[in-house]
Amino acid sequence: MCFLSEPLFAQDSEVRIANEYFLKGEKEKALAMYVTLAKNVDNIPAIHNNYLSLLLDMAKYKDAEDYVERVIRKVDDRVSYRVDLGVVYLRSGDVPKADKYFRSLIKSSVQDVYRTKSISDFLAAHDLPEYAVIALQELRRAMNNQSVFTLEMANLYRMQGKRDEMVQEYLNYITQTPSNINYVKNLLQLFLSKPDELETLERMLYDKVQESPDSEVFADLLVWVNLQQKNFYGAFIQARAFDKRFRKENAKTLEIAQIALNNKDFDTADKSFAFVIKEFPNTDNYLPARLGLIRAREAKVKRKFPVNRDSVRYLTREYQSFIARYTDNSNSFEAILNEALLHAYYLDEKDSAVTKLNGLAAHPRVPAYLRARAKLELGDIYLLKEEPWEATLLYSQVEKNQRDAPLGYEAKLRNAKLSYYKGDFRLAQEHLDILKQATTREIANDAMELSMRIKENIVSDSNGTALRQYASIELLLLQNKTDLALSRLKTFGEGKVKMSKHDAFVQKLWPTPLDKKEVVENFLKQDRNALLNGETLQDSITVTISPEVYKPIQDDVYWLEANLRMKRGEFDQSLALLQKILTDYPDDILADDASFMQGDLYENYLKDKARAMDVYRNFLDKYPGSVYAAEARKRFRTLRGDFSATPPNN
């Protein structure tokens, strides 16, 4: 077969038609055209990949071998064609010949770095990472440098599923370029997801730290891998060593303290903050650590149900002492805000809280962000005081002043919740639809959750009767009216809800045949007069709704009451309600929440280690994709004693 030249425009048209046949799967037509087109040297770049793929798919291995050899000989000796020839040997089933060929190709090119690197790239593109690795290994030997091409080698080992070798290459890379440590952390987080893989990485890092005690990157990664395993105490131990060894004034330890606090490991947070205070009293980290220690102890107090008022009072004195000693700085301003919330929510001293927050919001030296936070919290306290208009005014101010900032979105979310509490689901949904699109992940998730609750329950209850009752109970809980909330939850479970007579009449739930005619007529007369004056009568009445209306939201009712019972220290009742969710709604969105909360109750409140381990084990089997999976795994391993250095929970 010889190569001829033809008019370019005709050839282009035929190439296009041949490629169309190939893409449509019309193999015989495409093959006939490719055979003809391949005679022209100018067509090879345009048809090569498709033509060779077609020959291999049709098992025409001899034709494929002849074609590629002819291209190499007559057209171009480029690397890609050379690799293609080895692929033909491999696809034909002649593995020894392919192996010998690839190794020979690599050895013959090893003095040319660019050519050998290209061979490796094309081998990887053909999903032959084992030979791509050989090419780079030969280059390393030829260059007498085992540290080149580390990222490429790591990727090839990843393609082969060789996790240990992949990690070793990333560690080699970070040794050369420590400034890229965050890039490597991102890669490791992406590729190492299983507990045993993280444990292997931890062991490798221990070895590296022993070999290179002066290397910051390995010590830093050792802290990081403990965090990935949610072993916060282990992270604290490593961070403490890191700060001592590299004289970091406990910046790393303070960071771990904050992370532990955010992840509710209050014991580790307490120890970490206390360590910073003791070891570095004259540094910039001292005040944040002092404040952090109070916050950690506050979090522990709030988690012991029922919350002890004497402990709360002690915390307020701690905050007051801090504020008096370290005046007019960002830490003392935050302390004022935290103390105010304790007065409002735990000591029923709402007026005191309002005074403190108003002072904070008006203070000229308070940062704008903290003033906005004070206004948000002030709005919530006005809800406690049953002054919703004051609340929405403050939320709207923050929403306007912090537009496109996380606090602005938080203000919009609180306005949405306020509309929800009031039973104005349409307005709430308008706010939520915006929040689902443009905000932080946490706020977007909260908005999505509330939006789904509204939509799901409006489907089965177009009047929103059950959802209004549920929202009103949530508001009662926000206002700390727990006894009334419990009473409403009990009657709600029996299909009875309390509403205004006006709403009950509109929804045809009242009057009943038993109501006296003159009583009804008198109410309707008064109601019409009130409506003419732009008012609504507030007379309330308890009505019975059908199971079709209240049953769809019953799982949420169980969840709400389970949390309320837990906060009252009624742990057995809480467990029973959680079990109702798992029994009656096993596939519900709340099922994993209920199961994890059961484990938490057994572990931290009933102190039943064996039952807690059983619950966590079962949780990991049933809900491996849950957002709580990592925490459940960490807790199970802690209870089992895997983290021997970790102190038991107090």
d(CA 222, CA 235): 8
Residue 526 scores a pLDDT above 70? no
∠ Cα 142 145 148 (to 5°): 105
Percent helix, percent strand, percent coil in the chain, to nearest 5: 75, 0, 25
Q: Do 256 and 284 belong together in one domain?
A: yes
Residue 610 scores a pLDDT above 60? yes
Range in 201-215, 320-334, 445-459 with the lowest mean pLDDT: 445-459
Range in 61-65, 348-352, 586-590, 592-596 with the lowest mean pLDDT: 586-590
Q: Is residue 46 a contact partner of residue 8, using CB atoms and an 8 Å limit? A: no
Angle between helices 150-160 and 163-176 (to 10 degrees): 170
Q: Is residue 498 a contact partner of residue 488, using CB atoms and an 8 Å limit? A: yes
3-state secondary structure 327-363: CCCHHHHHHHHHHHHHHHHCCCCHHHHHHHHHHHHHC
Residue 3 scores a pLDDT above 50? no
Q: Is residue 247 part of a domain?
A: yes
pLDDT class for 550, splitting at 50, 70, 90?
A: confident
Mean pLDDT, the chain, as a whole number?
90
d(CA 43, CA 58): 21
3-state secondary structure 179-196: HHHHHHHHHHHHHCCCHH
Q: Is residue 325 part of a domain?
A: yes
Per-residue model confidence (pLDDT) at position 6:
46
Length of the chain: 650
Q: Do 312 and 281 belong together in one domain?
A: no
Residue 500 scores a pLDDT above 80? no
Start-to-end CA distance of the chain, whole Å, equals 85
Residue 374 scores a pLDDT above 60? yes
Amino acid at position 243, single letter: D
Range in 69-78, 340-349, 544-553 with the lowest mean pLDDT: 544-553
Q: Is residue 468 part of a domain?
A: no
The pair of three-digit structure tokens given for residue 334, joined into one six-digit string: 């935050």
d(CA 448, CA 589): 13
Per-residue pLDDT of 459-482, as tens digits, reads 777 778 889 889 999 999 998 889
Q: Which residue has the higher pLDDT, 597 or 327?
A: 597
pLDDT class for 456, splitting at 50, 70, 90?
A: confident
Q: Do 281 and 322 belong together in one domain?
A: no
The DSSP code for 500 is E
**Residue 178 burial class via C-beta count within 10 angstroms: exposed 0-12, middle 13-18, buried 19 and up:** middle
Q: Do 292 and 330 belong together in one domain?
A: no
d(CA 292, CA 298): 10
Q: Do 272 and 321 belong together in one domain?
A: no
Per-residue model confidence (pLDDT) at position 539:
64
Residue 646 CB: number of other CB atoms within 10 A?
Answer: 20
Per-residue pLDDT of 551-586, as tens digits, reads 889 999 999 999 999 999 999 999 999 999 999 999
d(CA 615, CA 604): 13
d(CA 284, CA 613): 42
Residue 647 scores a pLDDT above 50? no
Per-residue pLDDT of 182-204, as tens digits, reads 999 999 999 998 889 999 999 99
Residue 546 scores a pLDDT above 80? no
Q: Is residue 473 part of a domain?
A: no
Q: Is residue 274 part of a domain?
A: yes
Q: Do 622 and 642 belong together in one domain?
A: yes
Note the pTM of the prediction, 2 decimals: 0.82
pLDDT class for 441, splitting at 50, 70, 90?
A: confident
Domain residue limits at 336: 304-367
In total, how many domains does the chain have?
A: 3
Q: Is residue 209 a contact partner of residue 218, using CB atoms and an 8 Å limit? A: yes
Q: Under 8 Å CB-to-CB from 588, ≥6 apart: which residues?
A: 555, 581
pLDDT class for 5, splitting at 50, 70, 90?
A: very low
Per-residue model confidence (pLDDT) at position 250:
76
Q: Which of 296, 312, 338 is the last residue of a domain?
A: 296
Q: Which of 367, 388, 407 is the last residue of a domain?
A: 367
pLDDT class for 437, splitting at 50, 70, 90?
A: confident
The pair of three-digit structure tokens given for residue 306, joined into one six-digit string: 């029922």
Question: Strand, helix or coil at 541?
Answer: strand
d(CA 362, CA 359): 5
Residue 519 scores a pLDDT above 60? no
pLDDT class for 537, splitting at 50, 70, 90?
A: very low
CA neighbor of 461 nearest in space, from 484, 436, 492, 430: 492
* pLDDT above 90 coverage of the chain, percent: 76
Per-residue model confidence (pLDDT) at position 398:
97
CA atoms within 13 A on the CB side of 384: 21
Range in 139-143, 198-202, 524-528, 612-616 with the lowest mean pLDDT: 524-528
Amino acid at position 332, single letter: S
Q: Is residue 360 part of a domain?
A: yes
pLDDT class for 524, splitting at 50, 70, 90?
A: low
Query: Residue 98 phi/psi, 5° resolution?
Result: -65, -45
Q: Is residue 342 part of a domain?
A: yes
Residue 176 scores a pLDDT above 90? yes
Residue 590 scores a pLDDT above 50? yes
DSSP string, 117-179: HHHHHHHHHTT-HHHHHHHHHHHHHHHT-TTTTHHHHHHHHHHHT-HHHHHHHHHHHHHH-GG
d(CA 132, CA 159): 11
3-state secondary structure 399-442: HHHCCCCHHHHHHHHHHHHHHHHCCCHHHHHHHHHHHCCCCCHH
The pair of three-digit structure tokens given for residue 121, joined into one six-digit string: 């790239």
Instruction: Please give the average per-residue pLDDT across 99-118, as a whole number.
Output: 96
The pair of three-digit structure tokens given for residue 309, joined into one six-digit string: 């008022």
Q: Under 8 Å CB-to-CB from 333, ≥6 apart: which residues?
A: 360, 363, 366, 367, 370
Q: Do 596 and 644 belong together in one domain?
A: yes
pLDDT class for 531, splitting at 50, 70, 90?
A: very low
Residue 168 scores a pLDDT above 70? yes
Q: Do 274 and 311 belong together in one domain?
A: no
pLDDT class for 14, splitting at 50, 70, 90?
A: very high
Q: Is residue 502 part of a domain?
A: no
Per-residue model confidence (pLDDT) at position 406:
92
Q: Which of 342, 367, 392 is the last residue of a domain?
A: 367
Range in 418-422, 455-459, 510-514, 538-542 with the lowest mean pLDDT: 510-514
Residue 542 scores a pLDDT above 90? no
Q: Do 235 and 252 belong together in one domain?
A: yes
pLDDT class for 650, splitting at 50, 70, 90?
A: very low
